Structure 1
Amino acid sequence: MTKKTTPEERFASLVEELTRLDGVEPPGTGRRFGSDALKADGHIFAMLSAGRLVLKLPRARVDELVDAGEGEHFDAGKGRPMREWFALDPASVLTWDGLAREAHAFVHR
């Protein structure tokens, strides 16, 4: 029987993999919003929020993913979805690594 990994374990694996990329800072740098997020050149590109992977992507890509039913626009609790932030549905078959690399490329241009 295969052990199911938690979102926190999946994010930890993602952090381990992506901190090898140029300019990526691991979580724990800073004390404010985003201190638990992956950053590239000081900009957040991936984080875990309420057990969901949240990524910064181009607005058109976020709209495409939302339209495909893969997740939704991320709302940071202010009642207004953020245009360039995507919250991946836990049931999505899309890979965390692939989307996080897309987000890294978007932020690290």
Structure 2
Amino acid sequence: MFDFSPLLELFPDDEEGRMLRSPGLRTGGRFYAFASGDDVIVKLPAARVAELIASGAGLPCSPRPGRPMREWVRVPARDCLPLVLEARAFLTRA
């Protein structure tokens, strides 16, 4: 499972919480990332999610089979830090 604690040190106003029964990060009460197995799921604009899926860098986030969440993408934890930061930036300017 991904360790979010270094990000909490970087952004002390952010909080850890649970999303879909998994540990996650939120800012301003809104989640921008959560862990699932060996992957991290991040919230990004729908066009960016489609781009990551099309390039093979990410997979759709489908907590219910056949119903992907259009603004969430699943990426391997080893590749997630830049995308987690991008997701946080997306939420803080939205």
Distance in 2 (alpha carbons) for counterparts of 1:35 and 1:73:
17
Aligned length: 92
2:62 is paired with a residue whose SS is: coil
Aligned to 1:56: 43
Determine the structure 2 residue equivalent to 1:3: none
TM-score (norm 1): 0.72
Give the letter for the 1:27 counterpart: G
Identity over aligned pairs, percent: 35
Alpha-carbon distance in 2 for matches of 1:43, 1:34:
15
Pick from 85, 88, 91: which aligns with 1:104? 88
Question: Mind listing any 5+ residue stretches in structure 1 that lack a counterpart?
Answer: 1-7
Query: By percentage of residues, which structure has more strand?
Result: 2
The 1:44–1:60 alpha-carbon spacing in structure 2 relative to 1, beyond 3 Å, is same
Normalising by structure 2, report the TM-score.
0.82
Q: 1:67 aligns with which of 33, 54, 65?
A: 54
Amino acid corresponding to residue 77 of structure 1 in structure 2:
R
Please give the root-mean-square deviation of Cα atoms over the aligned residues, in Å.
Answer: 2.3
Unaligned runs of 5+ in 2: none
| 2:14 is equivalent to residue 27 of structure 1 | no
SS in 2 for 1:60: helix
The list of structure 1 runs, each at least 4 consecutive aligned residues, that deviate by more than 2 angstroms after superposition, is: 32-35
SS at match of 2:47: helix
How big is the shift at 1:63? 0.7
